[in-house]
Structure 1
């Protein structure tokens, strides 16, 4: 029941002074241990913590928080480990693996007090990560009988969010780098996840990716296998609690891959189209992957990019790629396969010289850490003191729900029992739009069809779907 005008003006962001509220580093390692030269399904699954994969090194987290004063980590994991192939993608988890992951998240958020992005590092694919990023069935692809459905993706996020909904320092990164698929399906999957997260009462910040590796430089462009352009589709995303930003990646080498040591792509010109689009629709974004490994030739490119984000108020945060306990002298970014180490504190190059933590992080990135970083309160698009609540409440009342959305939200350290939601149905997404217009005759599948709290409203659902009551703030067409 929200028009484009209202959505563009207030749904995901309210324009404010230029500030970066969250800044830090991506932790890569939870996705390790599944590579197979023959693309053998099941290789490295479930794997052994500390042998095939590792989420974080607690000592490195200590250095980043206590000495470097960052407030954000992005922690990668694999869907196939959290939801084993024998279960399928959805609300049933490998509880041992979940507890390992939760321990890492809780160390970052509870013990150290930083924010943590949950990062399913799956490229919008599920069932075969053996040669990521190309293997596995595209989630929601109805032409592939082996593919997990959009509804299953929503069910997964409803379950995961339900377990972390009382941890105000958690941020939900819906998916790492969707690519080579219909952008309308990226939208449908993102929307199903957002709906499921909000349906379980989780109000924290959500990061929604676009298509084409969610590249900032290509946000306004369509190309073979990645069309329509993200800019033509992603503005339709809706969030009933007004707390979603877009997840963007941007590298500085010739092909934007992050594979080369020479920087040649200036961020200011390459991000201009995305920045204009964000301003046009009133949205915010976080750049959760960027980097450089040449601390001399790339220095101007890297510092210019960080300064560009700081000077444009549509960007609220960033994480550099990448640290992680298993990299050793190998490099996650930007080296043309040379072994220069990683952003992990103490990392060394293969010849024993200082690694990227010293040559790039300490030399170039750390001096540019913002002074506006949020320290407490629920993760949100507005920064310190930002209020999070259902749109109808924010729009019509000076009060908001404080049981889960205030800065005094308690941080839960124990595992929450599973909360199944109505998104566990196996209905697949067929609509290319999930936004209900105030002028539309019916709300499409997965759209919001009711809410309002003390000022309730309802809307008719499209044929074949029914408006399902979730809570006083939210009903959904299913």
Structure 2
């Protein structure tokens, strides 16, 4: 009885102060298998499921939910597999491919009771992922006759939302890392997708990206390829359900790419202008990509970033980059090309030593996972259904 009372007291105290409702890991693998050294369009499409690409390992999801007590997974896929180029972006899906994806989302949300971000990993481009992020036509670019239109982008999201509107644990991530395009076009695409999702009867959380690879550090900056600044345009975004947040990425290495082993960028310092903008415009955000290597220097930077999010109510969740079923000994970030393993449970480095799951997740990130997270109710900017996973 005393134990139960202490747990309830801790839960109530946490509910009073919690701002991080969702925490977990990005699942990378659904976007694999299309790289072409010669930039040959169509390479790897549609690909063989389980060989060229795969969404999750169910055993890894088990570890993260049952042992690590996380409640969020960001699941990457390619628009060109969901909507084959032959029929175009829109409401016509490859049903076999959709079935594989739906199985992964169902396992996360129904079997394990966690939340899933649907992540079209396309950089706001469509028709040629052979050398992402540089290939493919910008969605909505009216100067490019091969580009999918904003209306087609809305049709896609309307159809996906229609299929999943009754799954309260999905989160609609509109697109991964738009870049080098007119920010006004990102606003138009984001808004069209939001309108289509709501018209389909789906009320779950939407997370919308900005320009500049949706970097938090560059949110208020205006420069070639990132103009106007996201902060100058995206405040005009509206949602009839008032359930949209911004999708932010923030790496801690010298050039914010997540490609280097050394951490040198202060998350709190670089996010301060974004945080002030979110506050003044009454928006929330999720940081769905961040990471660091297993160098001793990165641990402090990761802790600083996670604590900053927890201390600022503008941030409602995060996913670290990245786990996934196909990384093997390769590192999805922060490795300077070294094969140090990934955040996939059981991963190992090329020399057989423990991979990033052990040396980064368990050592540096796991202690930062809030004990109280949202485990029930529709995904929301306001949280709700906060419980302590026992």
TM-score (norm 2): 0.94
Equivalent in the alignment of 1:231: 231
SS of 2:357's partner is helix
Matched residues in 2 for 1:87 and 1:339: separation?
A: 38
- How far off its partner does 1:170 sit? 0.4
Contact 2:375 2:385 in 1 (8 A): no
1:376-410 residue CA offsets vs partner (Å, 9 max, x unmatched): 00000001159xxxxxxxxxxxxxxxxxxxxxxxx
2: CA distance, partners of 1:194 / 1:77: 19
Write out aligned runs for 1:111-150 (5 A).
111-150=111-150
Residues in 2 aligned to 1:183 and 1:368: alpha-carbon distance in whole angstroms: 34
Q: Which residue of 1 aligns with 2:12?
A: none
Give the corresponding residue for 2:349: 349
Separation of aligned partners in 1, 2:74 and 2:120: 10
Aligned to 1:335: 335
Q: What is aligned with 2:308?
A: 308
1:321-371 residue CA offsets vs partner (Å, 9 max, x unmatched): 000010000000001000100000000000011100000000011111112
Which position in structure 2 is the counterpart of 1:448?
A: none
Give 5+ residue unaligned stretches, structure 2. 1-15
State the distance in 2 between where 1:249 and 1:294 align: 20
Partner of 1:169: 169
Contact 2:261 2:295 in 1 (8 A): no
Find the counterpart in structure 2 of residue 459 from structure 1: none
| Residue of structure 2 in register with 1:32 after alignment | 32
Pairwise CA RMSD: 1.0
Instruction: Give 1:295 deviation, angstroms.
Output: 4.0
Change (3 A) 1:206 1:298: same
> Would the aligned equivalents of 1:263 and 1:298 in 2 still touch at CA under 8 Å?
yes
Displacement of 1:294 in angstroms is 2.5
Residue 213 (structure 1) aligns with: 213
Per-residue CA deviation, residues 182-206 of structure 1 (Å, 9 max, x unaligned), is: 0000000000000000001000000
| 1:188-236 Cα shifts (integer Å, max 9, x gaps) | 0000000000001000000000000000000000111110000000000
State the SS of the aligned residue for 1:380.
Answer: coil
Aligned to 1:468: none
Partner of 1:66: 66
**Residue of structure 1 in register with 2:105 after alignment:** 105
Quote how far apart the aligned CAs of 1:17 are.
Answer: 4.9
More helix by share: 2
SS of corresponding position for 2:318: strand
Residue aligned with 1:224, SS? coil
State the aligned residue count: 371
How far apart, in 1, do the equivalents of 2:17 and 2:315 lie?
11
Tell me the distance in 2 between the aligned counterparts of 1:335 and 1:371.
29
| Contact 1:17-1:313 at 8 Å conserved across structures | no
Q: What pairs up with 1:225-374 in 2 under 5 angstroms?
A: 225-374=225-374
CA distance in 2, matches of 1:293, 1:348: 14
Moved over 6 A (4+): none
Helix, strand or coil for the counterpart of 1:297? helix
1:93 maps to: 93
Whole-Å separation in 2 of the counterparts to 1:294 and 1:143: 45
For residues 367 and 30 of structure 1, the distance between their equivalents in structure 2, rounded to whole angstroms, comes to 28
Task: Report the equivalent of 1:75.
Answer: 75
Render the CA deviation track for 1:83-109: whole Å, top value 9, x for unaligned.
001110000000000000000000000
Is this contact kept in 2: 1:177–1:214, CA < 8 A?
yes
- SS state at 2:319 partner: strand
> Secondary structure of 1:43's match?
coil
Q: Distance in 2 between matches of 1:295 and 1:78?
A: 32
Q: Highest CA radius of gyration, 1 or 2?
A: 1
Secondary structure of the structure 1 residue equivalent to 2:44 = coil
2:341, 2:64 → 1: CA distance?
17
Distance 1:91 1:230 in 2: 29
8 Å Cα contact 1:249/1:290 also seen in 2: yes
Give, in whole Å, the separation in 2 of the partners of 1:333 and 1:371: 26
- Cα distance in structure 2, aligned partners of 1:298 and 1:314: 24
SS at match of 1:98: helix
**Aligned equivalent of 1:376:** 376
Partners of 1:44 and 1:223 in 2: CA distance: 34
Contact 2:341 2:347 in 1 (8 A): yes
Q: Mark the runs of 5 or more structure 1 residues left unpaired by the alignment.
A: 1-15, 387-478
